[in-house]
Each structure stands twice: as structure tokens, then as C-alpha cells.
Amino acid sequence: MRLYFPVINLLRGIAALLVAIYHFTNFSFHKTLIFQEQPWLLSLGEIGKQGVYIFFVISGVVIPASLYSSRFTPTAFHRFVARRWVRIEIPYIVTIGLIFLIAAFFAWKNQETFIFEPLRLIHHLSYTISFTDYEWYNVIFWTLAIEFQYYLVIGLLFPLLKSRSKWVVLLTALLFGLSIFVLPNKSLIFFFAPIFTLGILIFLRKSERLSATEHWVSSMLMVPLIAYYHGVIITLFSVLTVLIITHLTVKKKSYWLGDISYSLYLTHGLIGGNFLYLIIRASDNFWAKIVMVLLALLFSLIFSHFFWRWIENPARKLSRRIKIN
């Protein structure tokens, strides 16, 4: 049985777009926000930060659904991890390479020394930067570390989630969500476990391991945890994502914005952010800045299209050659 949720493709695109809008409207030049005199616009743009948590709920659904469709068994754990690594890591490595090229260019332009730290790169490739004193090359990369931790955890838990015992299934999902009590460290998956669990519970309902009532009651147990640790706004976006996935039906199986969402997520700072850095000094006029932000978004979308076509999509096809059943 193959579980597929067309609306998730649309949600991915919206989430990536929201994150890009947040970064562009809250862009800082020499520690000065470009819309510092328009706090209402900054606040509006900050809503885009919630796109990250939309992605977390989505991963909560699609990763166990993929394992379920592939008839995953524990003996295939290493192949599952390898498949996810290829799918995510190749575009990620290429993005880091582009960051190096642009940093080297600016160092040459400003007659400065380009500093390469091998250990920092190793920690990026292993998603362990959060446990060091180094900084991420791009602030969004912390979410990839959380996602990769989730892949490891869900691969280990999945045999319990597909158990024939409803109590084993339910307790596994709920205990994972409650793990935030034990390890509330922002660098670990467990701090975000209740959000991922909302997605896992959708999968359990769609795969008929939970009834609709059991799904909603279990989900409501996660809501206070998310509100307490993450705040009301993140809670609202997480719950709204659940409602959209469970109740909104779309006919199209694929959306262009959804297809390029990961590419946009990875590269919007690289393209749109550097565009703003180069041109934002051209005018202090509010509407001119709005046009610059829109251009930054447009250039990011165009670049993401080709990045998806030449880098991400080939990586996706390569990952699918690693069978996990």
C-alpha cells in the first residue's frame, strides 16, 4: 500500500517561500535591518519563520509513510539512512561549495584572506556544528541537522510504529513526543519531537493504525507541549498544517513550487541574500526596497529551478536506486 499526500507538495512550496520572505524582509546590512523604520513589515515577515515547523510536521508524515510503502525492515536501516543521505546531502554539499566560491570572491574583491577551516566543514557534513563552537555557514542549516536526527530516530522506531498492537503503536508515538521532557536541548531532535509527532500521528491514522478519534486525542496531547516549549505561534502553524494535510484535498500531484522547495530553502540566502547585500545601498526609499526584496525572491526562484533540475532532481533519482525493501 502506497501512502501519498498531494497537498504536502503544495505545503512544502509554501513553507520554503515563507522562510525566504522572512529572511529577505528581515535582511540586515551592517547590523541595520533594511525595514527598521517599518516594524509592522518586520513583524509580518517574521511569520515566515514558521515555515520551518511546517517542514517538521511534513517530515513527521512522509518519512514513516515512505518506510511503510517500501515495506521497511530493521535490516535495511543502513540503506534507508544512505538513501536519505544521498537525497539531502548532495544538494547540501553543492550549496556549501557555492558558499565557498562566493566567500572566496568577496575575500579577493576586498583584498582579504579566505579562511578555510577543514574541521568546520567536517562538522557541517556530519551535522554536528551545534555541538561545537563553530557557526553554521548558513543559519538555516541547523534544521537539516534536526531532520537528519529524525531520520535516525524514525528508522529505529518504525518497527514499533507498524506493530499489530495498537497500544504499542500509540505508546511509541506518544513517548517520542513526550521525550521533550527528558532532553529539552534545542540541538537535539527531542526538543522538536511533539511537532514531528503531529505528523507521525497523521501517518498512523492514514495507515489505519489509529482511528480518527485516537488520532485527534493523541494530537491534542502534543499541543500543550508545543505551546509551552515553542510558543503559541508555532503551535498554531503546526496545528494548521495538520488540519490542511488531513482535510484539504488537491487534484494535482505535483506543484512547481513544491518541487523546488528544498532547492529554494537551501539557496535563497545564497542568491537573494547576496543580491540584497550588493544592491540595498542603492536607495533608502521604502518602495524601492520592496522592489529589491521582490527581485531577490524572483532571482532565488529562478536559480532554485535550475538548481533543482541540475542538482537536486538527479540526487533524488540517484537516491531512489538505493532499495530499502
What is the torsional sign of CA 266, 272, 275, 279? negative
Instruction: Tell me how crowded residue 29 is: count the other CB atoms within 10 A of its CB.
Output: 12
Give the confidence band of 254 by pLDDT, cuts at 50, 70, 90.
confident
User: What is the rounded average pLDDT of the residues 233-252?
Assistant: 94
User: What is the rounded average pLDDT of the residues 181-185?
Assistant: 94
> Residue 2: its pLDDT value, please?
59
User: What is the rounded average pLDDT of the residues 21-38?
Assistant: 91
Domain residue limits at 263 = 6-319
Q: For the chain, how big is the Rg over CA atoms in Å?
A: 20
Residue 36 counted as domain residue: yes
Residue of 140, 8, 126 whose CA lies nearest to 63: 8
Contact 142, 130 (CB under 8 A): yes
pTM: 0.96
Residue 325 counted as domain residue: no
Phi-psi region of 63 (alpha: psi -120 to 50; beta: other; left: phi over 0): alpha
Give percent above pLDDT 90 in the chain.
90
Taking the C-alpha atoms of residue 198 and residue 215, their distance in angstroms, rounded to an integer, is 9
At residue 253, does pLDDT exceed 80? Answer: no
Give the confidence band of 121 by pLDDT, cuts at 50, 70, 90.
very high
DSSP SS3 for 211: coil
Residue 324 counted as domain residue: no
At residue 145, does pLDDT exceed 80? Answer: yes
Residue of 157, 248, 174 whose CA lies nearest to 210: 174
Q: Which three cell numbers stand for residue 246?
A: 488531513
Query: Cell match 532554485: residue?
Result: 304
Residue 77 counted as domain residue: yes
Give the confidence band of 324 by pLDDT, cuts at 50, 70, 90.
confident
Residue 1 counted as domain residue: no
Taking the C-alpha atoms of residue 223 and residue 2, their distance in angstroms, rounded to an integer, is 29
Kindly state the helix (H) or strand (E) to which residue 47 belongs, with its residue range: none
Contact 297, 272 (CB under 8 A): yes
| 44-63 pLDDT per residue, tens | 999 999 999 999 999 999 99
Residue 12 counted as domain residue: yes
Number of domains in the chain: 1
